[in-house]
Amino acid sequence: MKENPDIRVTKQRRIILEELVKMHTHPAADELYEKVRKRLPRISLGTVYRNLELLSRLGMVRKVGVSGSQMRFDGDTSPHNHIRCIRCGRVDDLDVDHRMKDCSREIRRKTGYEMIESRVEILGLCPDCRKNERQDSGNRRIAPKIGPRR
């Protein structure tokens, strides 16, 4: 954990950050809590939430607020985008250049805004859900039509 004069480096904060950085799944606070609890059995879910909020405000972790799902957290604070599975909610890093920096001048010209950061949300089916979908479609049986006779 980088030293920051604004906060005390507590054992709890250090372990929360260590566990988050180890997880590449962009966990929700409750998922991270389960991992942290293995090392700190007496920690509360509220403590994990509060520390994640503080670490996020300080720029030490990223909030990954993908639409339609609960807030997730990322230990990688470098600029990057994410892709989210529409079936299971899994979130992965997406290291694809979307040429948003090239758009900065056009955005400023059209809106007057200066672009500071961009976030692109890509939706899709993760490899596991795609595999399950293929298996499910092979096992489906067409149910007979049931209804009133005419």
Kindly report the pTM of this predicted structure: 0.71
At 50 the three-state DSSP class reads helix
Q: In what order do the strands lie in the sheet with 81-85?
A: 91-94, 81-85, 121-124
Q: In this predicted model, what pLDDT tens digit does every residue of 88-142 receive, in sequence order?
A: 888 888 877 656 666 778 888 899 998 887 777 788 999 999 999 888 776 554 3
Q: Is 147 exposed, middle or buried (0-12, 13-18, 19+ CB in 10 A)?
A: exposed
The letter for the amino acid at 108 is R
CA distance 16 to 26: 13
Q: Give yes or no: residues 41 and 110 share one domain.
A: no
Range of the domain at 86: 79-127
Q: Which of 58, 76, 94 is the last residue of a domain?
A: 76
